[in-house]
Structure 1
């Protein structure tokens, strides 16, 4: 993976075209984003992109949605820049050929063992205590009552939505299914995958069914299978921050999901203390993000839900609650309309809002947040809405009723061109180029001693240096680098 800023985007929501059109936007001679990014993470482009969960419920994970193009287009893009794609390991669509075969033939189907049921997870029966011990990212039990086409009734395991059926990744068919996806990716030039929903992939009676030792073992095994095909693995887990440190020791890359809420905490509470504590602990093999296609994670800096007394979070519970309210206030309560019980596709641990609006649309704070992100060790990813300093899409939220759509705007070419002329976006592009091109970022990182309210970081390589200092009391700052004039926001 190149040590340069990456873009994360839906193919059809940035420019309104397919993969070939996105390639022109990113790499074409007249492309509006030409030369900005060392890589691009294409959010699910599989068939179909408009299912129950915006492509995260594929009917066929090995088919490009024809509305976006074909594998030849992916291969052409991967020849121009690094491409990352999602491997959705936990589930498959209820409309998939595999489930349709099982629904018609029952136990005679070759896929009978692919789909998890209540009985397959709890073969000896289950009681209330065991069911309540299962960790849930959303309200309700992880089960859906289904009547198969052959007349049988089943309690299917569904961690997320009734249309997303959990699979047994340890079954021969489950393993073959995932290996087929990896091979298709490798053949198409994809050299990085994001392991989606991996924390829920293993189910075990009497346990939480989330980030267990068996889950870590599965992640390590899958990463080894991917590595054999020349593919790097990024693991996507929203959980207690120390679990990210554990996972980082087993895979190529993890997300720094603690960063977005800690950055907001620093601005709202005018202190860098929790943020600096995390910087001293965090794994270096991290992709840094401020925003993604999901919400702003809160669980990532909170206490361990399984052991609150003995495993405190990076910020106290009262400040965590206040942080959520500050985001709602800064966004003029728009985020409240998209979060929790206010919208479908519920996530119990995320606040749905664009990062720009979470900071109240304050351009200086936003640019300082991006500079902070780019200065941390790891590879920065910028979400397409964040790239354009996008506002909450309340119209899309109203139409879909899906909370996360508040941060999934559809940009046409004219909107992109207009957004790129905004001063805040121009300054962000300047920061991206600085991060990509300055030699200091290939050198040694140092977190400098400073007051609790101040964050100071430095990169050095031979005679090259880059320094960022932010005083969160008044947002006074220094961003200096050898060979150029200091930047001020």
Structure 2
């Protein structure tokens, strides 16, 4: 993977159309900005109950977006990342429908995970309390079967997302078949979606067990053998992320987004600096994604201190709600469906009160942080909260999943912020210093992040007390300074 800025996008929500249109936009309006593209689920169907993360057929491109040849063509000019949804598939899939019709006589029975497979002697209350679930309520759903029978199936996320038995031969074959389809169509990296929940074991949390690491290791090796890198997607305690990073190709730096917000809100870089000195270097950095702004990644867990304490986290969340004029409250927690316990649903731009300077500073910090930066399509264009879409769907995360098109993109690219953002992306892509050594220092409201390689260096200096930020680039004997305030004018 090239160490350049990448784009995260849905095909249809950015283009208003299909894969070929996305290719045109990347070669026209967004030309030479992104070396790689994380294509959010493009499988059939893209408009299920979880925006494509509940595939009926994981190996089929939704025909509204095109076909595998279109994906393959897109991958000829950009490194493509796709989601391998390892934990579950749709209840509307032909496989699960066959299970509902034929019970344990179905040839697909072993593909899915039932409660009895993990708890053959029954689930005690003590065992139930140990199970970690990212949403409130039970992780099982009872489905009717033939002959007046029924069965409790694992549904870690929603009752339309049936968990796969990854230990069964059929489960292994299912995942292998998807990997092969990816390798045949220019997919160079996979994001292991919800991998932390894939392995279940009685008497445990059923989350990030030793066996989960073994599963990730095996799946990563299978992917690597096909020329595919793996990115593990896990929201968890920060120390867990550090340990996971030692065992996989790449992880997300999910602690970065809330820490950047905390730093700007409090005008104190102490917590962020502490994290950047110990954070994994083999990471993908983000500020926003198709999900909300994670909180669990910086918080305490099981009596162990977090990167922020509970009071700081409460202040962070309340400030987001305040900056977004209460819109984030309408999309978070019990206020909307897709209820999550660990994130706030809001655009990053609105979380910062639509302040262009603060948002550009946040992006500069991201680009200077260790790892390869990815920029979400809505964040690239500084899109505001999609309240009309939220009211229409009542899906909390839709507040940051707008439907755009070429005309909207043209208008957005003419905004002062977006022009500054493009300049920042080009700077990050073209400076060789980012392939060197990283250092970071701070003094409360002042931050310095520096990259050095041979005679090349890039230094970001931010002072929130006087609202200034500049980048100093040195290449051989040439030195230039880029002021973020100037970029916005």
Greater Cα offset, 402-411 or 149-158: 149-158
For residues 56 and 482 of structure 2, the distance between their equivalents in structure 1, rounded to whole angstroms, comes to 51
Q: Partner of 2:277 in structure 1?
A: 280
Greater Cα offset, 205-214 or 278-287: 205-214
Q: Partner of 1:240 in structure 2?
A: 237
Q: Partner of 2:23 in structure 1?
A: 23
Question: Aligned-pair distance for 1:261?
Answer: 0.2
For residues 140 and 473 of structure 1, the distance between their equivalents in structure 2, rounded to whole angstroms, comes to 45
Pairs within 5 Å for 1:319-338: 319-338=312-331
Task: Give CA-to-partner distance per residue, 1:279-305, whole Å, 9 cap, x none.
Answer: 01100001000000000000000012x
Q: Please state if 1:458 is matched with 2:450.
A: yes
Pairs within 5 Å for 1:45-444: 45-148=42-145, 151-304=148-301, 307-308=302-303, 311-444=304-437
Question: Aligned-pair distance for 1:271?
Answer: 0.4
Question: Aligned-pair distance for 1:150?
Answer: 5.8
Question: Aligned-pair distance for 1:129?
Answer: 1.5
Task: Give CA-to-partner distance per residue, 1:116-166, whole Å, 9 cap, x none.
Answer: 111112112111111121111011010111113564311111011100000
Q: Secondary structure at the match of 2:167?
A: coil
* 1:4–1:37 Cα contact (<8 Å) kept: yes
Question: Aligned-pair distance for 1:37?
Answer: 0.1
Q: Secondary structure at the match of 2:483?
A: coil
Distance 1:39 1:340, change over 3 A: same
For residues 22 and 150 of structure 1, the distance between their equivalents in structure 2, rounded to whole angstroms, comes to 49
Question: Aligned-pair distance for 1:440?
Answer: 1.4
Task: Give CA-to-partner distance per residue, 1:418-460, whole Å, 9 cap, x none.
Answer: 0000000000000000000112112222224x41332211112
Pairs within 5 Å for 1:469-484: 469-482=461-474, 483=478, 484=480
Q: Secondary structure at the match of 1:460?
A: strand
Q: Secondary structure at the match of 2:438?
A: strand
Q: Secondary structure at the match of 1:14?
A: helix
* 1:186–1:229 Cα contact (<8 Å) kept: yes
Q: Secondary structure at the match of 2:350?
A: helix
Question: Aligned-pair distance for 1:210?
Answer: 0.8
Q: Normalized against structure 1, the TM-score is what?
A: 0.97
For residues 44 and 231 of structure 2, the distance between their equivalents in structure 1, rounded to whole angstroms, comes to 22
For residues 25 and 161 of structure 1, the distance between their equivalents in structure 2, rounded to whole angstroms, comes to 34
**Runs (5+) with no aligned partner, structure 2:** none
Q: Secondary structure at the match of 2:329?
A: helix
Distance 1:51 1:150, change over 3 A: farther
* 2:470–2:481 Cα contact (<8 Å) kept: no
**Runs (5+) with no aligned partner, structure 1:** none
* 1:105–1:150 Cα contact (<8 Å) kept: no
Distance 1:150 1:405, change over 3 A: farther
* 2:100–2:143 Cα contact (<8 Å) kept: no
Q: Partner of 2:12 in structure 1?
A: 12
Task: Give CA-to-partner distance per residue, 1:328-387, whole Å, 9 cap, x none.
Answer: 001111001100010000111000000000000000000010000001121000000000
Task: Give CA-to-partner distance per residue, 1:47-98, whole Å, 9 cap, x none.
Answer: 0000110000000000000000000001101111100000000001011111
For residues 356 and 274 of structure 1, the distance between their equivalents in structure 2, rounded to whole angstroms, comes to 21
Aligned length: 481
Q: Secondary structure at the match of 1:246?
A: helix
For residues 488 and 231 of structure 1, the distance between their equivalents in structure 2, rounded to whole angstroms, comes to 37
For residues 177 and 149 of structure 1, the distance between their equivalents in structure 2, rounded to whole angstroms, comes to 25
For residues 473 and 320 of structure 1, the distance between their equivalents in structure 2, rounded to whole angstroms, comes to 22
Task: Give CA-to-partner distance per residue, 1:233-289, whole Å, 9 cap, x none.
Answer: 000001101111111111111000000000000011110000001001100001000
For residues 270 and 258 of structure 2, the distance between their equivalents in structure 1, rounded to whole angstroms, comes to 13
Q: Secondary structure at the match of 1:369?
A: helix
Task: Give CA-to-partner distance per residue, 1:157-215, whole Å, 9 cap, x none.
Answer: 10111000001111100000000000000011111000000111011111111111111
